[in-house]
Structure 1
Amino acid sequence: MAMTFDPFAELDRLAGSVLSSRSNLRVMPVDLYRDADRYVLNADLPGIDPGSVDIDVDGQLLTIRAQRTAGGIEGAKWLTQERPAGSFLRQFSIGEGVDTSGISASYDNGVLSVVLPVSERAKPRKVEVQSVRHDSDVQPAIRS
């Protein structure tokens, strides 16, 4: 039976508890996948000023914050306003299998991409099996 290591086991636990208690926070949909020796998190943040995006790591907690300002057109009478403005927040428990010092991020066409490299100690590796000789396996030297 193969066991897999999932450093994102509590992916939405923290975000769910924060979002339920703070109704002014907006949804930030994400995709998360593993690609070889890294995890890639893509978050939809269309219309966000890249300068408002804040990503920090505190221990094993990754926090993404962003801000979208409302389109303030003076004198306009809004007929519908469906694009949410305000604060966006997501938090992820990243586990100990991530190299937090190597995390990088980029923002392109409304998608924030965060790359989380797998730490060296969490990467799969081969274990060499060594042969152990016991004293009973050793033939005594014949003396004349």
Structure 2
Amino acid sequence: MAMFFDPFREMDRVAGQLLDSRQGPRLMPMDLYRDGDHYVLNADLPGIDPGSVDIDVDGQLLTIRAERTPRSQEGVKWLARERNGGTFLRQLNLGAGIDTAAISASYENGVLSVVIPVSEQAKPRKIEVQAGSPAATDVAVET
């Protein structure tokens, strides 16, 4: 008897298990970049109620949680249901040089944007160079 192995079907099965809401939080895709004196994090969270988004900072750990509740419609026959409900979770280690007290967030068109400012101490700065002769010190010499 010949066995047939379809790697794409197997990958789909594994991905389905990883994304199953009953098995724990889902990962949210995100972009992170630095723009001048702050970092910008954009996370895709389509269909999320903004009231369900929870952002915490504990020391240098930033945690983003969101919940998508499935629509329950009685008496319908689903032909396709790929947008299941569940919890989304992302954690980032911010490291030193971040002003955690000034982090802000907004949600628009299914994208959560978190602005993470760099602290004043971590910003690049110029050191002024003094021109001229060094200050002379008077030295008294006794003979």
TM-score grouping bracket, smaller chain normalisation: 0.7 to 0.9
CA-to-partner distance for each residue in 1:90-130, whole Å, 9 max, x for gaps?
Answer: 00000111100000000001000000001001100123456
Is 1:71 equivalent to 2:106 in the alignment? no
Instruction: Supply the distance in 2 between the matched residues of 1:98 and 1:41 (Cα, whole angstroms).
Output: 14
CA shift, 1:134, in A, is: 9.7
Instruction: Supply the distance in 2 between the matched residues of 1:62 and 1:99 (Cα, whole angstroms).
Output: 12
Q: Give the % identical residues.
A: 69
CA shift, 1:27, in A, is: 2.4
Give the TM-score of the pair, scaled to structure 1: 0.73
Gaps of 5+ in 2: 1-18
Greater Rg over alpha carbons, structure: 2
Instruction: Supply the distance in 2 between the matched residues of 1:27 and 1:78 (Cα, whole angstroms).
Output: 25
Is 1:50 equivalent to 2:50 in the alignment? yes
CA shift, 1:23, in A, is: 3.2
Gaps of 5+ in 1: 1-18
Give the TM-score of the pair, scaled to structure 2: 0.74
CA shift, 1:85, in A, is: 1.2
Structure with greater contact order relative to length (CA < 8 Å, sep ≥ 6): 1
Instruction: Supply the distance in 1 between the matched residues of 2:139 and 2:94 (Cα, whole angstroms).
Output: 57
Contact 1:26-1:84 at 8 Å conserved across structures: no
Runs of 4+ aligned structure 1 residues displaced above 4 Å come to: 129-135, 138-141
Alignment of 1:27-42 (within 5 A): 27-42=27-42
CA shift, 1:84, in A, is: 3.0
Which residue matches 2:117? Answer: 117
Is 1:106 equivalent to 2:106 in the alignment? yes
Instruction: Supply the distance in 2 between the matched residues of 1:69 and 1:91 (Cα, whole angstroms).
Output: 21
